[in-house]
Amino acid sequence: MQYTAVKLVKRPTLYITPDLFEVVQLETPELEEGQFLVKQTHMSLDPAMKGWMMEDRNSYIPPVELGEIMRSSGVGEVVESKNPQFAVGDRVVGMMGWTEYAVSTGQGLQKLPEGIPAEAVLCVLSLPGLTAYQGLVNIGKPKAGETLVVSGAAGSVGSMVGQIAKAEGLRVVGTAGTDEKCRWLEEELGFDKAINYKSDDLAKQLIDATPDGVDLYFENTGGAVQHITYGQMNAHGRIIVCGMIADYNTDKPSPGPNWINMIRRRLTVTGFAMPDHWDEVPAMTEKLLGYFTAGKLKYRAHKLQGLESAIEGINLLFTGGNTGKLMVEL
């Protein structure tokens, strides 16, 4: 049986363009003992993918090699199996790549509980939810009554961060790029305040929204929000650095704030990436599932149709054109 896959054939310079990819037709192989075949139904698109395309051998994860199927996580169903641990009909989540079918031994894949939609899996129980939980809870160690600012709050990670923080009793202020996204954060997700970072009076709004200062800052974007929030940090505040999406499509990173505040206010700044924490995934998944089943985590999925839609659709992540977690329905 033939199926479609997308390979990375060039490195990006600044932008992700269609010529970086090659659409290929492949034959499903004969399975060996211990293997099974997964038909992918939903594929995640994430900002980290741009880093995975770059020739950066010192990053937290090796780059996708040229000629390889582009890396991504997804949800799928087992359609053929020679592995006693995975039966036909089992639903799984994990790294599969930009492909309609994937052969696996089970490494890096988890079985899914019944009754949870694929969209919820990719929005809540997969990389966005895991990243949010690891950064906020395990690294940030929030305390009820503290104030959190999260940038990129309407994104897949930021929206989870804010909701987990509310569930833990924090005051939550988020920034997003449109008034509609800000209304969604406040009216649907329960943020105490959401601010359009494109506002002319951004500094005033952020300072007014944090009259008692900021105890935790979850950084997804960089830019002006970073500088203003840094100035609002309380003594012994924690800054969790997850992403800098404002700089992903620039050839010169924007300057960061002066470090003197770290000394004066005894701040802790921690960067992290999920590959360092895969061993903690089962415990975090259980926690996220608890929030979700209790109705404390809502999500919004932005679905593209068909595998090849990923080639240009991924750029929605860098223009702010997506409304919710970006994914492809195959």
* pLDDT score, position 321: 86
- Give the tens place of pLDDT for each residue, 193-232: 999 999 999 999 999 999 999 999 999 999 999 999 999 9
Domains of the chain, start order: 2-124+303-329 (3.90.180.10), 143-272 (3.40.50.720)
For 46, list phi and psi in degrees, rounded to 5: -135, 150
**Helix (H) or strand (E) segment spanning residue 257:** none
Facing residues of 286 across strands?
none
Tokens of 273: 């990436």
- Give the tens place of pLDDT for each residue, 104-142: 999 989 899 888 999 999 999 999 999 999 999 999 999
In DSSP notation, 199-223 reads -TTHHHHHHHH-TT-EEEEEESS-S
* pLDDT score, position 227: 95
| Residue 153 burial class via C-beta count within 10 angstroms: exposed 0-12, middle 13-18, buried 19 and up | buried
* pLDDT score, position 290: 94
Residues in the chain: 330
In DSSP notation, 29-80 reads PPPPTT-EEEEEEEEE--THHHHHHS--TTSSSPPPPTTSBPP-EEEEEEEE
Q: Directed axis angle between helix 202-209 and helix 224-232, to 10°?
A: 40
How far from the centroid of its chain's Cα atoms is residue 250's Cα? 20
- Give the tens place of pLDDT for each residue, 67-77: 999 999 999 99
**In the chain, which residue ranges form alpha helices assigned H by DSSP?**
48-53, 118-120, 127-133, 156-167, 179-187, 202-209, 224-232, 260-264, 281-293, 310-313, 316-319
**Cβ-contact 51, 88 below 8 angstroms:** no
Strand bridging mode 171-176 / 193-196? parallel
Question: What mean pLDDT is predicted for residues 235-259?
Answer: 87
CA distance 155 to 31: 38
The pTM assigned to this predicted structure is: 0.91
Each residue of 11-25: b (16+ CB within 10 Å) or e? ebeeebeeebbbeee
- Give the tens place of pLDDT for each residue, 273-313: 998 998 898 899 999 999 999 999 999 999 999 999 999 99
